[in-house]
């Protein structure tokens, strides 16, 4: 098996001619992913951040970064982000109690994850806990997902901070063409941020794009 380093603790494995994205991890499986030696498979159909990496767009997330993760769910992608920022911290916000219960199992195992059962549309409610962060990652399928991202960036993102928002067109407007929704989203994000890059998550996630931004 060949292992090519992408960024800190993220590797592209090649096994029997098949490429597998993985994070180097001392922990076991969290959501049914394979453990391959010292690596945990990072499944792109289960994680939009993995899909972005598999599509060839890579962000050099540093091991000591402080990350605010919005929409943690049961912790699938959070578990891999925590592998990457093994010298930093992940503040992970989730509103729904059911996936949060599963997520707590992960947070008890990982000392660099701080779980927050909160509504991401109300960042002031957790502003006493979350410090200024280097990076915001958001995966929230709500109509007001752009507003949520903007508000959290205003509260928590450092002046030179970056962020990625995973945009689901059908959650914003189920009647419009996805491409029209994406154009509106990019236009709005450019008002508050410098848009570094964006792109489709097909074939892993239908009608989704990633948008990578930096504070102006």
* 119 assigned binding-site residue: yes
* 136 assigned binding-site residue: no
Spatial strand order in the sheet of 2-7: 2-7, 10-15, 18-24, 39-41, 35-36
Residue 131 token pair: 């410090």
65, HSE (Cβ side, Cα atoms, 13 Å): 25
* 94 assigned binding-site residue: yes
* 138 assigned binding-site residue: no
- Bond before 123 cis per omega within 30 degrees: no
* 175 assigned binding-site residue: no
Q: Which of 73, 65, 111, 64 is nearest to 92 (CA)?
A: 73
Q: From CA 216, how far away is CA 203, in angstroms rounded?
A: 32
Cβ neighbour number for residue 128 with a 10 Å cutoff: 6
* 137 assigned binding-site residue: no
Provide the 8-state DSSP code for 110.
Answer: -
Binding-site residues for S-adenosyl-L-methionine, please? Answer: 76-77, 94-95, 119-120, 139-142
Binding-site residues, please? Answer: 76-77, 94-95, 119-120, 139-142
């Amino acid at each position: 098996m060949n292992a090519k380093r992408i960024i800190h603790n993220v590797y592209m494995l090649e096994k029997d001619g098949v490429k597998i994205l993985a994070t180097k991890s001392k922990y076991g499986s969290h959501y049914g992913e394979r453990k391959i030696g010292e690596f945990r498979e990072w499944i792109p159909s289960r994680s939009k951040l993995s899909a972005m990496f598999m599509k060839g767009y890579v962000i050099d997330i540093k091991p000591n970064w402080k990350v605010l993760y919005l929409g943690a769910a049961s912790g699938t992608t959070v578990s891999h982000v925590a592998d990457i920022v093994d010298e930093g911290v992940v503040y992970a916000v989730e509103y729904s109690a059911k996936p949060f219960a599963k997520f707590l199992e992960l947070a008890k195992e990982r000392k660099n994850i701080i779980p927050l059962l909160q509504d991401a549309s109300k960042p002031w409610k957790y502003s006493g806990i979350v410090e200024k962060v280097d990076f915001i990652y958001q995966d929230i399928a709500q109509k007001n997902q752009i507003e949520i991202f903007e508000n959290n960036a205003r509260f928590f993102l450092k002046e030179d901070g970056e962020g990625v928002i995973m945009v689901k067109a059908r959650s914003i407007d189920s009647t419009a063409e996805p491409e029209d929704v994406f154009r509106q989203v990019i236009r709005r994000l450019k008002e508050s941020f410098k848009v570094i890059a964006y792109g489709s998550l097909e074939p892993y996630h239908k009608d989704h794009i990633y948008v990578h931004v930096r504070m102006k």
